[in-house]
Structure 1
Amino acid sequence: MADAGFTALRQFSFTTRPYLAVEDATGAPIGLDDLDVRVGWMLDLISGAEAQMLWWLWQPATFDVLAAGRDSQGRTLPMHGHVAAARLGWTPHYPDGVYVPSRVTRVVTAQAVGTLRALAYRDTTITALSARFDPATGRLSAPSCAAEYVPSGFARGVARQLTARSRRTAGAADARLRITDVQAPPRTSAMARLSAADRQLAHLTVTDAVMTLTVKLPTTVAPTGRAQWRRVRVTAAIPPHLRRRPISEWHLPTLVLDHRGLLWRCAATEAVPAADVTSGNIAVGVDWSPSTLGAAAIATETPEGLVSDYRGFTYDDRGLGIKLARLQQEGQLLHRKAARLTRLAATAPPDVRAQLEEKIAVLDAHREAVGIKRGKINRELAFHFARQVTGYAADAQAQLIAVEDLTTLETRGHGHVNNNRAAQSARRQAVAALAHTAAEVGIAVVSVPARGSSALCPGCDEPLARPGGYHTAWCPGCRVGGNRDHVAGVNLAKRALLGRNNVTRRRGRMPAIRVAEHAPVRKCRDKNGPTPRRPRHRRVRHSLPTVTPRMGVTPKQHVPAPQASVWDTVKPAPPHGDACSRDTRPSPTPATQVADSMRST
């Protein structure tokens, strides 16, 4: 665990909804429906100006400047997006006669520059990969040096884009392709990141259990002057589980509109126990599995060497993995059907084309709904998995949690169904959730190399045998084995313990161990891992009770109790939906009922 008395700052995000809005100058209440309309006017101005700015800047010269990081005078570009845009002379344009405050322009330029900076790496990579691309075969040649290496999945996606462009241009090869040659400007969602502005546009006040946001909003769809931008005080409730947390700073939210109205995407900074990577002697290795999300095992460093009981913990996804696979198949079916109708509508008569376009719109709406549902289930699955693994590591008094490096991890050779299911799993989201939940108890999460973790013996580093099929592993030399995923977890935990003094830290990324070292892991007969919590089922009566019927009384028919299922547990399951924060919320936010009751008619 972390050293006592040392703390670190951690940022986390949560969402909430307003339940009260008033005019700042007069104090007159505003209906939440009217508030949604006014926020929608501001988001329309921001999204329209941002899209126009991205279209105008979608050229190679833009990415050359961002890759160099310097302006025309050789000065280093500032980190803040709106300051860098002002230095470069990038300004958005609005419809004629529309007045927009300069602080709203800051929001527009900050969001546009942030999007372009995120795509600058892709532009550089496409240029390097296009030089290795053969239009005749549609393949990429092998990299000549380590600097040209990119993840295989990313390279395949770029190869598909280059192949599509080669077909459009009849195989004409260009010496130097850019991102502007193979894809169109990105489409961004309508949002307002108020963190890019200052107090003249918005400021946040937190008192007790409520957050009050004072923000300027337009009073008409096309404001023509400063008087048509007025301040509004919007109040939202803080989720109950955040009210007693040691939060040092509350950040300005991002405003978005969904089917329920205005939504705040908030962030905060709190103090958590500081995690020390170098001082740990107990590590938990997390192995990603194609059948379930993951499994965990423990390795301990003792004066005699590394030991493990080779007994791990396998995560139970409660059937959500099967549901995700079903939704994925449904979304693919809707996509294929919409694509077929689109091809038919291209050559259909006008009246038939109108009918087909209506059907295509319905299919697209259904596919979008399926995608939203999959996103919610993936988020629930990721945080439930993170809480389970964090509790397992805390019970074992571990200081490290080792996860496989996702940049080098790719599922292959398990069949089309299992490969596709593993590729669509929320591994990266689960890693982020695990790092978030583990930081709360002072446990560090590091990434270790994934190659050979399931194929090599933790004791002698030799290939493992599969006497019982794919899910079993056995080393005849060391005479150790068991579940394949548990053995892989021991390997990952071993690599974390051996490489904890050579950790690479990069800004914005979790600590990483690049080199996989080897030391024999001895099997320990002593139980050094916690027993996983398992739900206890209610007792079920499997036989009829022996009751002597009384004379003269009609005997009752005794029906045995139904057989218990895996969902019939005494211990209640954790809440499945968490619409307010990344952490577990014991009860729904009471402000939702208040917000629904205050909707104006």
Structure 2
Amino acid sequence: MTGPGSTAPRQFAFTTRAYTAVDDATCEPIGLDDVDTRVGWLLDLITAAGAELVSRLWQPATFDVLAAGLDRQDRKLPAQGHVAAARLGWNPNYPDGIYVPSRVTRVVTAQVMATLRTLTHRDTAITALSARFDPATGAVAPPTEPADYVPPGFARGVRRQLIAHARRTDGAQATRLRITDVQEPPRMAAMARLSAVDRQLAQIAVTDRELVLTVKLPTSPFPAGRAQWRRVRLTAAIPNHLHGRPVIEWHLPTLILDRKGLLWRCAATELVSAGDLELATVAVGVDWSPSTLGAAAITTDHPDGLVSDYRGWTYDDRGLGIKLARLQAEGQLLHAKAARLTRLAATAPPQVRAELEAKIAVLNEHRTAVGAKRGWINRELAFHFARQATEYASAAHAQVIAVEDLTTLETRDHGRVNNNRAAQSARRKAAAALAHAAAGAGITVVSVPSRGSSAWCPGCDEPLARPGGYHTAWCSRCRVGGNRDHVAGVNLAKRALLGRGKATRRRGQMPAVRVAEHAPVRPSRDKHAPTPSRPRHRRVRHSLPTVTQRMGVNPKQHVPAPQASVWDTVKPTPPQSDAGSRDTRLSPTSATPVADSMRST
């Protein structure tokens, strides 16, 4: 049910760490370092068993079964991965003499089935693309059936795999290839998804702002019996930003080990306001841009038609986008260096090969560090953008936020730097963070087609002129224009309002409008968008007083005040959030106030 005052369940994720651990049977305290060691033994068992099962199932028959979605009795496979694997008889094998509880086997099969089900779509695409691939020219013919269409970026990646396979086989290949022909089995991630188990292995309880997780852990790297699996009770603090939230259920976490030790990736379900998409009259369109992460504009549905003031809001990423692009280019360079050294080491003498392998290890270490840094910047950028965009939409009393469909968004022919910026994974994380933040404010986020959003006029649906270069847009017929990202935001908001009654909803995804409809958007001189906050600059004295120096007295040296900058604001710095919170931390103000002693009297 939707309507005023109605609520709907919404899942969200957060991270936390345990600060104490005790043995569940004896209540004796256990060191956190010992807990990390025992969790590492558990992850080693899960990773080894998962890798063995994936390599055994890495054959075309596996993907045929998953694509059909039926078991041997032609029954539909259940959604739970461990249940589907048990029905198909896909169970991992363990070394002789090692005892592993059946609930740990559930974790292994659930993770393996999730990986194989994800790769089933890629197997289907590779089969279709290989049938149209010419090994002599390395080209893929365009599809003839609508069902064979795949996104261009995905098709380019598959084409590179087909070209590499043709080189390895000297151009001799079958008519249709499978995923098992062009790539190796994927590596299993070292993690334990406890959501697939029951109370016999793990259970969670909430007591006074704390999460208490009771989980069975091995006491040795090769447990030989039940006695070498003991329950450990771990206690972690609930992040501060979750206190007072209407959480109705806490889910079992996923356990991983990072540089700081054991990390919980938790999930919970809370109640949020349920907005009705069909009753929306004000929409905010968010346009992804290579120059910044996003820009927004507002379109309103009046009784006499759609109107907009064509004045938008542009997100200031504080230079994080430039840093992110630089790190991506650095990671690509490290990858190219490591690949070149790997090719040289294949034919090098033993002594030179050892030196090259040492260099390759260093390059891989640096590339891992760059990837970790990119992940943190992506997270900070995504949630900072989501909070500001949600505040902008709430101030405009919008009921829906329209974002570009990332599956149809592809930036090309704008130079290597701009293409690199537009290919950042921060946009997908920003879309997920925006959906999370907007749901808390009762605003629905819907994806709309992105094609032509910044190239066509919202009023007459004709191509826009670029009188001031790439970043400007102008329609001489409708007499509207401005920043091309703001014009694109008007188009996106228009498509969301026109297709609000035809939006499709899929489980685990935001509502989507598949067809872009057109209706003229009239320019309005009325103010519909909220006024963006502007920083107030401190007064800076630029002139020095004229002082007559007296004879015999050392003159006072006047030190001029520094120039005012755009960062010299008087806004207070918000308090820092909890380490496990997904709320973005704002960086402190970089400028320092001018000391009174530095000013001339």
Q: What TM-score do the two structures reach when normalised by structure 1?
A: 0.94
Task: Trace 1:198-347 onto structure 2 (pairs within 5 A).
Answer: 198-347=198-347
Quick one: distance in 2 between partners of 1:275 and 1:482?
32
Q: State how far apart, in whole Å, the 2-side matches of 1:109 and 1:124 are.
A: 22
Q: Do 2:300 and 2:306's aligned partners in 1 also have CA atoms closer than 8 Å?
A: yes
Instruction: Find the residue that maps to 1:539 and give its secondary structure.
Output: coil
Q: Distance in 1 between matches of 2:336 and 2:173?
A: 31
1:465-544 to 2 correspondences below 5 Å:
465-544=465-544
Structure number with greater CO (CA < 8 Å, separation at least 6) is: 1
Question: 2:465 touches 2:473 (CA, 8 Å); kept in 1?
Answer: yes
Partner of 1:278, secondary structure, is: helix
Residue 551 of structure 1: how far off its partner (Å): 7.6
Gap runs ≥5 in structure 1:
588-601
Q: Which residue of 2 aligns with 1:411?
A: 411
Shift of 1:567: 3.2
Letter paired with 2:98: V
Deviation of the 1:573 alpha carbon: 5.3
The amino acid across from 1:266 in the alignment is C
Instruction: Look up the SS of the partner of 2:363 in the other structure.
Output: helix
For residues 165 and 491 of structure 1, what CA distance do their matches in structure 2 show?
A: 43
Q: What displacement does 1:552 show?
A: 6.3
**Residue in 2 aligned with 1:8?**
8
Is residue 254–residue 264 contact of structure 2 (8 Å, CA) maintained in 1? yes
- Is 1:374 the counterpart of 2:374 in the alignment? yes
Which moves more between the two structures, 509-518 or 311-320? 509-518
Deviation at 1:340, TM superposition (A): 2.8
Measure how far apart 1:352 and its partner are.
2.4
Give the drift of 1:329.
2.4
Partners of 1:142 and 1:574 in 2: CA distance: 53
Superposed CA offset, 1:122-156 (max 9, x none)? 11111111111111111111111211111111111
- Secondary structure (helix, strand or coil) at the match of 1:98 reads coil
**TM superposition shift of 1:572:** 4.3
**Aligned: 1:450 with 2:450:** yes
The aligned counterpart of 2:423 is: 423
Equivalent position of 2:172 in the other structure: 172
Residue identity matched to 2:177: L
Q: Residue 580 of structure 2 aligns with which residue?
A: 580
SS in 2 for 1:230: strand
Percentage of matched positions with identical amino acids = 76
Paired with 2:103 and 2:507, the residues of 1 have a C-alpha distance of: 28
| Letter matched to residue 525 of structure 2 | R
Distance of 1:114 and 1:578 partners within structure 2: 31
**Contact 2:250/2:267 (<8 A) preserved:** yes
Deviations 1:537-595 (A, max 9, x none): 332222224556678653321111112333333224568997523334799xxxxxxxx
- Cα distance, 1:96 vs structure 2: 1.0
Cα contact 2:577–2:585 (8 A) shared by 1: no
Corresponding residue for residue 559 of structure 2: 559
| Cα contact 1:402–1:496 (8 A) shared by 2 | yes
Number of aligned residues:
586
Match of 2:114 in 1: 114
Offset at residue 429 of structure 1 (A): 1.1
Contact 1:42/1:218 (<8 A) preserved: yes
Offset, 1:94: 1.0
Please give the root-mean-square deviation of Cα atoms over the aligned residues, in Å. 1.8
1:44 alignment partner in structure 2: 44
State whether residues 241 and 585 of structure 1, in contact with CA within 8 Å, keep that contact through their aligned partners in structure 2.
no
Partner of 2:90: 90
Q: Which moved more, 1:429-438 or 1:339-348?
A: 339-348
Alignment partners' CA distance in 2, 1:545 and 1:191:
68
- 1:195 corresponds in structure 2 to 195
- Given the superposition, is the C-alpha separation of residues 136 and 213 from structure 1 closer, same or farther in structure 2, using an over 3 Å criterion? same
The aligned residue for residue 69 of structure 2 is 69
Tell me how far 1:350 sits from its aligned partner: 2.0
Change in 2 beyond 3 A, CA 1:425/1:229: closer
1:156 and 2:188 correspond: no
CA distance in structure 2 between the partners assigned to 1:323 and 1:426 by the alignment: 12
